Amino acid sequence: MLTDEQTQIRDPAQIFARADIVPFAPDWDRDHGAPRSIYRAMAEVGLMGVTIDPRYGGSGSISFLTPWRSKKLRLILLLGMASMAVMACPLLWQMHHPDTTMILTGQIAFAAICALFMSGLPAAMTEMFPHNVRVFAVSVGYNLTYAIFGGTAPMVALWLVERTHDDLAFAWYIVAMAVVSFFVALTIKDRGNEPLD
């Protein structure tokens, strides 16, 4: 169900698309590009910068995808972190296997799980902080976390392997970080219907 504001954006966009884009789309596709004039025409109708604040030349409207993205963002983060907590041990075992196919499969699955929760991190971190400290807070928070936990990960891995005499002991470190991250992600406030200022 669309809001009134979303409908006010959708209706002129459909009219514009039917009149000024659809008839010419096959030619533009064949020529691998649209003329610059179409962008000026879109701006005149108010379709450029829809989500940009009016102070900076946009219309200040919300995006069609904003509510969907925010609701799904938390779910994606939680799913990725839970998957990492559950799958870290089996995947590291798989990557420790002598068969190259097993190693490659484990690495691909591990990368897919990382991509699952890493894809939502920039948006989640952006929504966590007010605009006046956002760049500083996100950059310092992100980089310090990676420096402390990512930078010391090889040292922790070596210590765990030497201490336990188990080459897969590092998996428990990954599990612990994923569990902590999961519970932190539970506290993320849904700001899908709020302006980020």
175 and 88 inside one domain: yes
pLDDT at 160: 92
| pLDDT of 188 above 50 | yes
Residue position matching structure tokens 């999961």: 182
Domain range for 170 is 66-186
**Calpha distance 120→182 (Å, rounded):** 13
Higher pLDDT: 22 or 189? It is 22
Same structural domain, 103 and 182 = yes
pLDDT tens column, 106-142: 999 999 998 887 887 877 887 788 878 888 988 898 8
Cβ proximity of 141 and 55 under 8 Å: no
Examine the domain organization and report whether 113 and 176 are in the same domain. Answer: yes
Residue 23 to residue 54: CA distance in whole angstroms: 31
> 151: which residues sit within 8 A by CB, 6+ positions away?
none
In a domain, 193, yes or no: no
Instruction: Indicate whether 92 and 170 sit together in one domain.
Output: yes
> Per-residue pLDDT averaged across 178-193, rounded?
81
Nearest Cα to 124, choosing from 77, 54, 65, 79? 77
* 86 and 48 within one domain: no
Residue 37 and residue 74 share a domain: no
Rounded to an integer, the average pLDDT of 86-100 is 90
Which amino acid, one-letter code, is at 66?
T
* Domain match, 51 and 142 both: no
What's the whole-model pTM score? 0.60
Q: 20 near 35, Cβ under 8 Å? A: no
Distance CA 136, CA 115 (A): 24
**Residues 19 and 77 occupy one common structural domain:** no
Same domain as 158, residue 139: yes
- Report which of 48, 50, 68 is spatially closest to residue 2, judged by C-alpha positions: 68
Selected residue with higher pLDDT from 67 and 7:
7
Least confident of 34-48, 64-78, 121-135, 181-195: 64-78
For the chain, what is the domain count? 2
